[in-house]
Amino acid sequence: MANTTEITLPDIGDFKDVEVIEVLVSAGDAIGVDDSLITLESDKASMEIPSPAAGIVEEVKVRVGDIINQGDLLVILREDVSPEETAPVAPPKPVETHPTPPPPAPGEKKAKPLPIAPTRADMPGRKAHASPAVRRFARELGVDLSRVSGTGPKGRITKDNVQAFVKGALSGGPAAAGGGSLALPSMPAVDFSKFGEIEEIELNRIKKISGAHLHRSWITVPHVTQFDEADITELEAFRKSLKDEAEKQDVRLTFMPFLMKACEAALREFPVVNASLSTDGEKLVLKKYINIGVAVDTPNGLVVPVIRDVDQKGVYDLARELMEISGKAREGKLGPADMQGGCFTISSLGGIGGAQFTPIVNAPEVAILGVSRAAMKPVWNGKKFKPRLVMPFSLSYDHRVIDGAEGVRFTTWLSALLSDIRRLVL
């Protein structure tokens, strides 16, 4: 007759009444020494409880949500198993078709993200080997850890492995091809009518299309936002001094054309911001042209028409083109070509209000500028405070392409240029 062992909760220190948040084994599973049985979570930490013995799980005595303490029975383990049954206990060896890649030789291409086959779903009796933090991270992303290969000690799954899986699935790579279950969690259905009267309104076409694009950009681009401000007192005075001249040319000269010229100069100074990441994430596409998208608020939603070759146009030319394309946007007459080919986007809420905001990168671009309403502020000039017109702005960028130091250099350089527009001629 097979010998059985009752495995109880060991001494876990100064923890009592701890909740079971995961049960990592089930009846019939073959486990080895130190394989995780359950995951516990207290108000201070989460932890996995390892098995002190190897064998076949006869019965699981706890469930998710149970509150347990030291000495409580977790599982009953059958120890006298045949070699065939215990064979899966050892960590699976790498499959020949997907070995752990050695460091690339000189001139050799960098290895692609870790493939997911074979998976633990193909190995009955094996559970994903990952820490509670990684399990929580995977749950947040909707990733099935049984389909992720681990590169840590004894095949342990790391956070990088989960991120590589997500990247592969979103790019249609090995994870997607292998049937990886990247199911981003959706909001639960709620019957709002239970709480009061409601009305359902269909989203218009623009919001449906832009919503899907924004969602895709948000989950695929690791965003960082840098905040800054610029003293535009002199620039605004210069713009107002050109009002009569602009009217003679039948142009409404707003602040936007000056901002576009400043951004154009900044993009030439920092070409990495005027780039895109290749679909495989291996190369940076540097663009020799400067096309800037400008977000326009229309009755049907936000659209982003693109002004091409900003570096080849003057302030009046840009003002005239902005008037024309903004009119087309509000009349719903923009064509697909009017919204393609952008390198960088400006989203200005200055005419509405607000202090600062974090715009979403308009992928495949790698950065977007968010502009808020300028306000008069007392600024210390070294001797006294003087009233100055200060404009807050923010730069959201793709952290895979632009690091923090480069991001702040860009905003600092742009701020200096807007504070003294004469720098454009240098």
Catalytic residue, chosen from 98, 213, 223, 399, is 399
- What DSSP string runs through 108-136? PPPPPSPP--S-GGGSTT----B-HHHHH
Element (DSSP H or E) covering residue 230:
strand 223-231
Contact criterion met (CB below 8 Å) for 182 and 169: yes
213 given a catalytic annotation? no
**Scanning the structure block, which residue is given the tokens 């992720």?**
148
Q: Is the peptide bond before 359 cis (omega within 30 degrees of 0)?
A: no
Q: CA-to-CA distance for 25 and 120, rounded, in angstroms? A: 13
Q: Rounded to an integer, what distance in angstroms lies between the CA atom of residue 381 and that of residue 372?
A: 24
Q: Decide if 119 contacts 147 (C-beta within 8 A).
A: yes
* Whole-angstrom distance, CA of residue 70 vs CA of residue 93: 35
Q: Which amino acid is at 117?
A: A
Please list, in sequence order, all residues whose beta carbon lies within 8 angstroms of the beta carbon of residue 35, skipping any fewer than 6 positions away: 25, 50, 51, 89, 127, 129
Known catalytic residues are 399
